[in-house]
Amino acid sequence: MNWRRQRLDRALAIAPWILGGIFGAIAQHLIAILALPTLAPSSFYNRMAARLPLGEVALPPNPAHSAEAGATSAAESGAYPFADPFATLALCRFDLRDGPLRVRAASDGERLFAVSVRLADGTPFYSVTERQSPKGQFNILLVTQAQADDLDEANQDEPGQPLEATTQKKNDAADDERQDASEPAEPAASRAEPADELRLIVPKPRGFVLFRVLSLRESDYAETAARRSTISCTPEKLEP
């Protein structure tokens, strides 16, 4: 009887350790899965975007050229894996902690032009092609929830003011390019969003905007890369 009791005691003494081990393993696994997207140096954001100055538009190397150069690894060629040889990429980084980012781009009406907003952890938060954009032009303002609230508040602050003043105030806050969009003092212009602006509330402050232009043939790369001149990413300041 006594030896049985002893064995039970021993088993009971080990049990917490085994349970602890299992829970530890699960915890470690979950932490690894959740931390990898931001920590992995191989992620698209960490390799291509993390070191870009705000406002700069970068053009990753042509994947076909990297292949011809006989690069043995993606890291060596500066390229990214599973690149479509017909797609030319451009990207810019955003960090909304300092203020919103205005993204502008124009398609040539012929080549497919896609814009996607991705978080630093790789989440493709928003994506669209020029077909779904008015006149094939992109005018996207990336903001955090707090910045969106500030913008709305700024517009509701003076309900008694004539429309002119609201428009003026808005123009002060925005860059010059926005002026023509908001010039007509229509009811729509009294809101913070000009008709062609898409205001996107981004759930996390850091990430990148990816532009994808599809060539009509592979040798089109240079022509397509020229589309980059239509792309701008401009950090904006909110009025205090």
Partner 1 sequence: MTLAAAFGLGLAATIFALQGDPGFNAVKLGPWLLWPRLGSADIDPYARAWLALDGAAPLGAGEGLSFVAREDQNGAKLDSRCDYIIAGATPSARVWTLTAYDVNGRLRPNPAGRYGLISTRLLRSGDGAFVIEAAREARPGNWLPLGQKSRFVLIFRAYDANASATTSGFEGLAMPSITRGACS
Residues near partner 1 (CB under 8 A): 17-18, 20-29, 32-34, 36-40, 42-44, 47, 63-64, 66-68, 70-71, 73-74, 79-87, 89, 112, 114, 116, 118, 121-129, 131-132, 210, 212, 214-218
CB of 170 to partner 1, least distance (A): 28
Regarding beta strands 198-201 and 124-129, do their DSSP bridges make them parallel or antiparallel, or are they unpaired?
unpaired
CB of 149 to partner 1, least distance (A): 21
Q: Which is nearer to partner 1, 86 or 94 (CB)?
A: 86
CB of 202 to partner 1, least distance (A): 10
**Strands annotated E in 61-112:** 87-95, 101-106
Q: Which is nearer to partner 1, 24 or 162 (CB)?
A: 24
Q: Which is nearer to partner 1, 112 or 238 (CB)?
A: 112
Q: Which amino acid is at 220?
A: D
Between the alpha carbon of residue 34 and those of residues 30, 47, 94, 121, 122, the distances in Å are: 6, 19, 22, 9, 12
Q: Could you tell me what percentage of the chain is helix, strand and coil, using 3-state DSSP and rounding each to the nearest 5?
A: 45, 20, 35
CB of 8 to partner 1, least distance (A): 21
CB of 121 to partner 1, least distance (A): 6
Q: Which is nearer to partner 1, 174 or 231 (CB)?
A: 231
Over the range 30-48, which residues count as b (16 or more CB within 10 Å of their CB) and which as e?
eeeeeeeeeeeeebbbbbb
Q: Which is nearer to partner 1, 2 or 219 (CB)?
A: 219
For 82, counting Cβ atoms within 10 Å of its Cβ (0-12 exposed, 13-18 middle, 19+ buried), the class is exposed
Q: Which is nearer to partner 1, 36 or 163 (CB)?
A: 36
Regarding beta strands 113-119 and 198-201, do their DSSP bridges make them parallel or antiparallel, or are they unpaired?
unpaired
Instruction: Say how far apart CA 217 and CA 205 lie, in whole Å.
Output: 37
CB of 228 to partner 1, least distance (A): 17
